[in-house]
Amino acid sequence: MPEFTKLFEPGKMGKVELKNRIIFAPCGTHYSTHYGYISEQQLNYYAERAKGGAGLLIIEGASCRKRGKPGRILVNDDKFIPGMAKLAKICHDNGAKVVMQMSSHQGSMDEVDSASPSGLPHPFAGWSTSIPKKTRMITVADLEELAVEYGEAARRIMEAGFDGVVIHGANGYLPCELLSKRFNKRTDAYGGDLKGRAKFLLDLARLTRQKTSPDFAVLMRLMGSDRISKPGDEGWDKNDTVELCKLMEANGITAINITSGSQETPEWSCPPYFMPNGCNVDITSAVKKAGVKMPIWVTGKIMTPALAEQILQDGDADYICIARGLIADPFWPTKAKEGRVEDITPCICDDRCLEDVMVDWQPMSCTVNPMVGKEQEFHAKMPRITKKKKVLIVGGGPGGMQAAIIAAQRGHKVTIWEKGKELGGQLIIAAVPPDKGDLGNLLNYLRLQVAKAGVKVVLNKKATPAAIKAFAPDSVIVAVGSTPWVPPIPGIEGKNVINCRQVLSGEKEIGKNVVEIGAGHVGCETCFFMAEKKGSNVVMTFPEPAIEAKFWMFKKYFLDKLAKDNVKIYGHCQYKQVTPDGVEIITEDGVTMFLKCDTVVLSTGSTPDDNFGKSLRGKFMDYAEIGDCVKPRKIREALEEGIWAAVNL
């Protein structure tokens, strides 16, 4: 059994004693009430993370300003103290210390008042409806008022029983824009040298200290680097951070959490699957080596206990700060301590949690843990059953596997029939493109949990209504997935036309020159695979106005990588015909063009494989269809429907 001695070593930040070195990092949920109060959903969500074993929880960024956006926690009035007190108590009662992160202003991407140090707009303005297109220059009076509001909010948080507050100076928000010479061109007290550009953060710290007791922890989250600047550039790099940490230490900050990434590099602020693990350790290591004495926490795609332990053993940080890993599995700390690392639900870093909150303005969800925000409902239905049933699940993709695991854990006798040679469904091919290795972790986890739950798996088994009748199950769950959708283009049935599933699975080979039709996530990833793994010359075509990626972070990644792979792009085009020699299109400019190629690859979406389900409807008392055979969607929907189908048996 692996031992993580440093990870579970007690620690201390100021007067706050922690049972281990694991900190649950802040992540917005939009679980608050419309008017900014703590909701029952929020209490249950944070209680689960406290029960899971983290030493410290950081509650998501609250707003201390007079104006707030629905979905955020508000701390701008004493009327919010009772709700916050309930939250502090439930975290303490379940074994964790708790602090509240407060966001002063989001700068050029602020949803209420887009304002930046010098009036410069957000670099991705216009890419998403959630990013304002116009930005004003923030005034001295604005900054002074924000600091006063911050101090009062810190008092409220202390009175509610929290152990401390985190000053938010990361993620490219206003404090980051003020620190960066790239965005801060001011000549007043908030510009110029480091002390001037850090004045706002220092004012927040000073007023927070004035309004709270000496024992109250005043922590800070900092952008360690904008990840585009080099020493001497007009930006922000780790050498600047070292000096800022020394300045903050001298001004009474209890501890500092280091992340990185600015408005221009959001992929560093919450690193997705295409980013390296432990990507901010270089900064915390530099801060530690520079002689900073206060505790330093590191954040940034630290998904395994082994990596967390190594960082601590190497002296590169004092604490490990994890958000998405503990959203995916709140019991990550407990399982690590008990040596059950293989039972930790792995985060796949697809950032569905951020997309919900930042792009769609919806309550947060999690791809691999669909019960996030639904903890109470799930626990109410999960207890073991009184009547054991014989359950047949047809289809061994993610939804089918998840249903099997939950049904077996509840005490049913479960069998999976899978027509293929292995469990996994589309997860198998989804993990094939470059940078998608994190999906392989989920695939391995689900297969292992199916085995540990005692589910009987029958591979290469084609299900028919007659075979199911002969098997005589009490309950049937159909999870047979979808089939590729073929657009109505003349010649599309030609022998040179294949689909992305056939490419990624290796079922079909592609030629040297390829034209792809389709430009969603799967289309882009298939292009990367064909260009990088197969060495093909790839042309991407699609009828939509732009590449389909709602989250600007992924759109940036796709465009950058397509350019790196020399993929030619023809968007917003019309298709005249497909021939044995290629594809004839009409470009966005109205020009007819023939794209000569060896292979045409379709990444045009899916359609439900619902015929089998239709043949079974009405024949079983306990019957459900889940996942893509109902409607093609994403992994989370398949897993969630699998869970609810199992708990409702």
The pLDDT confidence band at residue 194, using thresholds 50, 70 and 90, is very high
The pLDDT confidence band at residue 208, using thresholds 50, 70 and 90, is very high
- Residue 130: the pLDDT is 66
Is 31 within 8 Å of 41 (Cβ atoms)? yes
The percentage of residues in the chain with a pLDDT greater than 90, rounded to a whole number, is 84
Structural tokens at position 285: 């290591």
- By CB atoms closer than 10 A (0-12, 13-18, 19+), residue 384 is exposed
Residues 586-604 have pLDDT tens digits of 999 999 999 999 999 999 9
- Computed over every residue of the chain, the mean pLDDT equals 94
The pLDDT confidence band at residue 531, using thresholds 50, 70 and 90, is very high
Q: Kindly state the average pLDDT of the residues 20-29.
A: 96
- Residue 128: the pLDDT is 65
- By CB atoms closer than 10 A (0-12, 13-18, 19+), residue 136 is middle
Give the C-alpha separation, 484 to 610, whole Å. Answer: 13
- Residue 381: the pLDDT is 85
Q: Kindly state the average pLDDT of the residues 408-430.
A: 97
Structural tokens at position 242: 């070292």
Q: What is the DSSP letter of 530?
A: I
- Residue 420: the pLDDT is 96
Give the C-alpha separation, 15 to 380, whole Å. Answer: 38
Give the pairing of strands 537-542 and 622-625.
unpaired
For the ranges 34-48, 122-136, 154-168, 317-331, the lowest mean pLDDT is seen at 122-136
Residues 369-381 have pLDDT tens digits of 999 999 999 998 8
Which domains does the chain show, CATH number per domain?
11-376 (3.20.20.70), 383-480+625-647 (3.40.50.720), 497-604 (3.50.50.60)
- Residue 129: the pLDDT is 66
Q: Using alpha carbons only, give the angle 223, 268, 57 rounded to the nearest 5 degrees.
A: 65
Give the C-alpha separation, 256 to 241, whole Å. Answer: 11
Please give the C-alpha separations between residue 335 and each of 2, 345, 383, in angstroms, as whole numbers: 11, 10, 20
Instruction: Show Cβ contacts of residue 393 under 8 Å, excluding neighbours closer than 6 positions.
Output: 400, 403, 404, 407, 414, 415, 416, 417, 476, 477, 479
The pLDDT confidence band at residue 257, using thresholds 50, 70 and 90, is very high
pTM: 0.94
The pLDDT confidence band at residue 321, using thresholds 50, 70 and 90, is very high
Q: Kindly state the average pLDDT of the residues 501-510.
A: 97
Residues 590-643 have pLDDT tens digits of 999 999 999 999 999 999 999 999 999 988 889 999 999 999 999 999 999 999
**456 phi-psi bin (left φ>0, alpha ψ -120 to 50, beta other):** beta
Give the C-alpha separation, 450 to 462, whole Å. Answer: 20
Give the C-alpha separation, 443 to 274, whole Å. Answer: 18
Q: What is the DSSP letter of 357?
A: I
Using the predicted structure, report yes or no on whether residue 541 has a pLDDT greater than 90.
yes
Using the predicted structure, report yes or no on whether residue 449 has a pLDDT greater than 80.
yes
- Residue 121: the pLDDT is 83
The percentage of residues in the chain with a pLDDT greater than 70, rounded to a whole number, is 98
- Top pLDDT among 533 and 231 is at 533
Residues 549-593 have pLDDT tens digits of 888 889 999 999 999 999 999 999 999 999 999 999 999 999 999
Structural tokens at position 227: 């990840």
Using the predicted structure, report yes or no on whether residue 69 has a pLDDT greater than 70.
no
Residues 145-184 have pLDDT tens digits of 999 999 999 999 999 999 999 999 998 889 999 999 988 9
> Quick one: which of 288, 320, 292, 291 has its CA closest to 307?
320
Using the predicted structure, report yes or no on whether residue 432 has a pLDDT greater than 70.
yes
Q: How far is CA 128 from the centre of its chain?
A: 18
Using the predicted structure, report yes or no on whether residue 250 has a pLDDT greater than 80.
yes
Q: What is the DSSP letter of 74?
A: B
